[in-house]
Chains A and B, each alone.
Chain A
C-alpha cells in the first residue's frame, strides 16, 4: 500500500535552518492532514486542509507553516525550530473530513532538531 508518500523520511536540522517536509497522496482524496507523534504524547493533529483550504490549526506555533497547493500535495515548512520539536511528523489524507471517511497515513518524516 503506497497511497500517501512523505519525503524526506529522515531530516536533521539546526535551530536556524529552514527546511520543508513534503507529502503527496495518490488516492484522489480531498482532505489532507499533518500529525505530530512525539515520544511522550499521543498523536497530535496539527493542521487540516479540505479542498486546499485550511480548516484546522490546532494551536500550532508559527514556526510550522503548512502549504497545500493542490489536493494531492501538502507541505510543512519549518523555520527556527526548537529541540523539543523533534518528532515523527505524519501526513494523512481522506476522501473528505468527518464521519465515514477513513484516514490513510504516510510512513512519516523523522525530524531531529539540533
Chain B
C-alpha cells in the first residue's frame, strides 16, 4: 500500500535547538518525496524535494531507502519556522499524484 506516515502531530522546540520532523513512506516503486510547508494564513508551498538535494531556509532532508524515511532536519530552529509541515510521496509514474502525510505542526518557542 502507498502511504506516508508522519508520527508526530505536534513538535515543540526552543529557538536555536535542532529540529527533526519525521516522515516514513511505503511504496513499491521508486520514491520521489517532497516536504511542503504551510505558514499561518498562507497557502501550502513546496519547501524541498529529494531529487534536488538542496537546502531551503536551512532545512535539509535525505532519502533513506533502507529505512524508507525522508526526515526533515534543521540544526538551529527559528521562530519563523513555526508552521505545518507535510511530507508527500509522488506515486503513479507519468500520471503521478501526491500522497500526503497528516502533517506535523512545528512550534518554535522564543
Contact surface of A with B, Cβ cutoff 8 Å: 1, 4, 33, 41-43, 45, 48, 50, 55-56, 90, 97-100, 102-108
User: B residues within 8 A CB of A97?
Assistant: 92, 94-97
The answer to whether the Cβ of B68 comes within 8 Å of any Cβ in the partner chain is no
The answer to whether the Cβ of B46 comes within 8 Å of any Cβ in the partner chain is yes
Q: How distant is B81 from chain A, measured CB to nearest CB, in Å? A: 19
Q: Can you name 14 extra interface pairs (CB under 8 A) apart from A99-B32, A103-B46, A106-B43?
A: A41-B102, A42-B99, A42-B101, A43-B44, A43-B100, A45-B99, A90-B44, A97-B94, A99-B94, A100-B51, A105-B36, A105-B44, A105-B45, A107-B43
The answer to whether the Cβ of B4 comes within 8 Å of any Cβ in the partner chain is yes
State the majority secondary structure of interface residues on A: loop
Q: Is the CB of A98 within 8 A of B103?
A: no
How many residues on B have C-beta within 8 angstroms of the other chain's C-beta atoms?
24
Given the known inter-chain contacts A41-B102, A42-B103, please indicate yes or no for A99 contacting B46, CB distance below 8 A. Answer: no
Q: Mark B83-110, 1 if CB is under 8 A from A, else 0.
A: 0001000101111111111110000000
The answer to whether the Cβ of B74 comes within 8 Å of any Cβ in the partner chain is no
B44, B45, B103, most chain A CB atoms within 10 A = B44
A–B pairs, 19, beta carbons within 8 Å = A42-B99, A42-B102, A43-B86, A48-B95, A56-B95, A90-B44, A97-B94, A98-B90, A98-B92, A98-B96, A102-B49, A103-B98, A104-B45, A104-B46, A105-B44, A105-B45, A106-B43, A107-B42, A107-B43
Q: How distant is B14 from chain A, measured CB to nearest CB, in Å? A: 28
Q: Is the CB of B90 within 8 A of A99?
A: yes
